A and B are shown apart, each in its own frame.
Chain A
Amino acid sequence: MNEVDSAPCDPRAVEVAARAVRRLTTAILDARVRGAANPDISKKISALADRLQDVAAEPRECVTGETGSQDGVLARSPVSGSKNPVAVPLHFEQCEDGSSLAHAEFPRQYQGPPGIVHGGVSGLVLDVAMAVANRAAGRAGVTAEMTLRYLRPTPLYTEVTVRGRHVRAEGRKVWSQGTLEVNGEPTVVCDGLFIAKEPGL
């Protein structure tokens, strides 16, 4: 298997910070569930945000994802981005048959119904799983349509296998599929239609 987006051996400072943000995001939600005393730590968080604000570039200057000694698009992704706390993050690998594969455990910030991964989160990660498989097939493009079918609940805090597969292409149209699996059982299946940047051969 090839690593599609490399898992860093030595985390950058921003990745360390992103991990801390993910942890606190979970802790705030857990605090509510458990009823922790004195949860108001907003002034302390605000002071830290102010310090970062002092050295931050304007948002519109950062759309290429290459601020400072920045490294690229994958790191910023809301699914696989190691520096984006919205991302779990997932590390996709490319299997020998060209399909994409990632494993994830979703903490509480991805919750929809109690104890269950939000249905929209499944759509978010499957869109990327299919896009990664299409890119591996030389058919990178944008999503045109996606249909998700939810077969059974996907639990939080449980290993979920995320797969994407390039199915076929016709001109610039590219069909793909994706699945989430728990204990070998599919929980969500997905069909995607993408439009490739380049027409097929």
Chain B
Amino acid sequence: MTVVDNLSLPVTDVELAYAGALERDAAQLRRIVDLLLRVDVDDPLLLDVADELDVLSEHLENPTRTVTETIRNPGWRHDPVSGVENAIAPPIVLEAGPDGTLTAEVEFGLPYQGPNSFVHGGISAMVMDHVLSVATAPNGGTIFTAQLTVRYHRPLPLFVPVAVVARLKEREGRKLWATGEIVVDGKVAVSAEGLFIEPRPTPAQAPVGSDGREDS
């Protein structure tokens, strides 16, 4: 199995260390996203936490601190579904099987809840859009959703491992069709099909590497 995300990993040592730091930051902040839904809403500790987080934001937001190395387009590291550097992403890191089918196992927690104990229907739609788009652009290239249909077959519970599956079905020029499912206990809870469009190659995109990603 190949971790799809590998293809969008930074290439230089500096970038690698940098990306690792941001990934660690997001992972710890993700804990807080979850914890906010598990503490008393008026606990004064929350105000201390807010103050200290604001100090950290100010540090990262300081525009005078820069490094000269080019930070590459982060590919699938930034988005709200599989972005390991994005604290609001679960994150769902897909692996590609020999036939190109992408799979991931994930347990959704409280931040993704809709009805009590179940995953929010909109979250399932967001996940489906994302994993289908990755199936059409596994190397982290830019891809646009043209149409997406999501069907809900049974409720998707929180706190249990569920399988997310996506595959490319067909390609015709810049049009790509993909399908996918979210499966719990061997049963399809959510299924989706989507049509995706690759952007037209532009002169600005011409000098990028063979993986088609842009430099930022």
Contacts and interface: CB of A to CB of B under 8 A. Distances in A.
B202 interface: no
A23 B53 contact: yes
Contacts of A147: 147-150
Contacts of A12: 41-42
B33 A86 contact: yes
Contacts of B159: 59-60
Of the four ranges (under 10, 10 to 19, 20 to 34, 35 or more), the interface on chain B belongs to 35 or more
Interface string B72-94: 01100011110101111000000
Given A37-B67, A120-B128, A109 B149 contact: no
A30 to B, nearest CB: 7
B174 interface: no
Contact of B60 (A31, A60, A148): A31
B200 interface: no
Nearest to B68: A35
A183 interface: no
A148 B123 contact: no
Interface string A25-43: 1011111111111111110
B39 A68 contact: yes
Given A84-B111, A143-B121, A28 B40 contact: no
B29 A45 contact: yes
A27 B60 contact: yes
A41 B25 contact: yes
Contacts of A148: 125, 129, 145, 147-150
Contact of A64 (B42, B116, B123, B143): B116
Contacts of A75: 41
Nearest to A150: B145
Given A20-B50, A76-B113, A118-B81, A69 B41 contact: yes
A32 B87 contact: no
Contacts of B109: 59
B4 to A, nearest CB: 16
A181 to B, nearest CB: 17
A1 interface: no
B53 A78 contact: no
B189 to A, nearest CB: 12
Interface in B47-82: 47-54, 56-57, 59-63, 65-69, 71, 73-74, 78-81
Interface stretch (A50-58, A97-105, A168-176): A50-58
B43 interface: yes
B52 to A, nearest CB: 6
A142 to B, nearest CB: 7
The 5 closest A-B pairs by CB, nearest first: A68-B40, A120-B126, A120-B129, A127-B122, A123-B125
Interface of B: 18-19, 21-22, 24-29, 31-54, 56-57, 59-63, 65-69, 71, 73-74, 78-81, 83, 85-88, 109-117, 120-123, 125-130, 133, 142-152, 155, 158-159, 199, 214, 216
Interface of A: 12-21, 23-25, 27-42, 44-46, 48-49, 51-53, 55-65, 67-71, 75-79, 83-86, 108-114, 118-128, 131, 142-150, 153
